[in-house]
Each structure stands twice: as structure tokens, then as C-alpha cells.
Amino acid sequence: MFFGEYPYKVDEKGRVPLPPKFRREMKEGVILAKGMGEKCITVYTIVEWKRLSDKLAEKAVTPANLRKLNRAIFGSAFSASFDGQGRIKLPDPLRDYAKIADTAIVVGANTRVELWSEEGWQAEKPSSEEQASQIIESGV
């Protein structure tokens, strides 16, 4: 389980560290993908990525819609592993998508991790907190 919020500097080569407690669960490597519906990078463990893949394969959608869904999710994904200093390289297409420049905000989101630009996270955080409060109050 991943939780917490951590700002990290992105180095000149586009590498960013993740918290050591996160890396322990990611030692097999990670998959980086576009956030679905949000301008962030989602970091999946290999196990969680496989779970997502299996779940999508089981969905009852038309072949055309399934092809589009698979292109959207898998076509923009990248595998990554940690270097000796606990950093992962953020691929340029994902970094551009999330508008991550000098600093990445690393956010634990239960079974995955999200990487946000400072500006993106400052815009998203209040909205997420407000909606979470409403969801909790509705009994979920």
C-alpha cells in the first residue's frame, strides 16, 4: 500500500527518486503510464500492472472499443527500473503529458503511485479532498 505526499527534484536527465518505503514494493521494476483522466504519471508495480491487464481482458466491451482502450493504456506505457540511487527515468512523452519540470510530487494512491507537476498537484489536491469527503459522507 502506498500513501503520503513527497516532493522530489527531477535531475537534468529526467530522473526522479521515489521514497525508499515505496521502492521496497517495486524492486521487480515498475510500469509508468499516463494517468487516466488526469495529467499525471501513474506508477504501477509489475503485479498491479498485470492485475490491470487481466481485468481489462475480462471486460465485456466491443472489439473496437477494446482496441481503443488497449491503445490508450498500453500504447503510452513504459517499463522502468531503479538505478543505484533509487531513481527512475521519466520518459519524455509522459513527462510532457504531466508537465513535470524541475519537481515531481510523488503521491501514494493505495495500490499505485502518482507523479504530478507542482502546479498540477496544487490544482488537483483540493478537488480530490473535497470529493473524498463527499464520497465518505455518502456511505462508501
Q: What pLDDT, on the 0 to 100 scale, is given for residue 69?
A: 83
pLDDT tens digit sequence for 36-67: 889 999 999 999 999 999 988 887 677 788 78
Nearest to residue 105, comparing CAs of 128, 121, 127? 121
- pTM as predicted: 0.90
pLDDT tens digit sequence for 72-115: 889 999 999 999 999 999 999 999 999 999 999 999 999 999 99
Question: Per-residue confidence at 5, pLDDT binned at 50, 70, 90?
Answer: very high
Task: Determine the Cα–Cα distance for residues 89 and 14; give it in Å rounded to an integer.
Answer: 6
For the domain spanning 5-137, the CATH number is: 3.40.1550.20
Largest CA distance in the chain: 46
Q: What pLDDT, on the 0 to 100 scale, is given for residue 139?
A: 66
Q: What pLDDT, on the 0 to 100 scale, is given for residue 140?
A: 61
User: HEC string of the chain?
Assistant: CECCEEEEECCCCCEEECCHHHHHHHCCCEEEEECCCCCCEEEEEHHHHHHHHHHHHHCCCCHHHHHHHHHHHHCCCEEECCCCCCEEECCHHHHHHHCCCCEEEEEEEECEEEEEEHHHHHHHHHHHHHHHHHHHHCCC
Each domain of the chain, given as residue ranges in start order, spans: 5-137
- Is the pLDDT reported for residue 23 higher than 90? yes
- Is the pLDDT reported for residue 29 higher than 80? yes
Contact, 104 vs 40, CB < 8 A? Answer: no
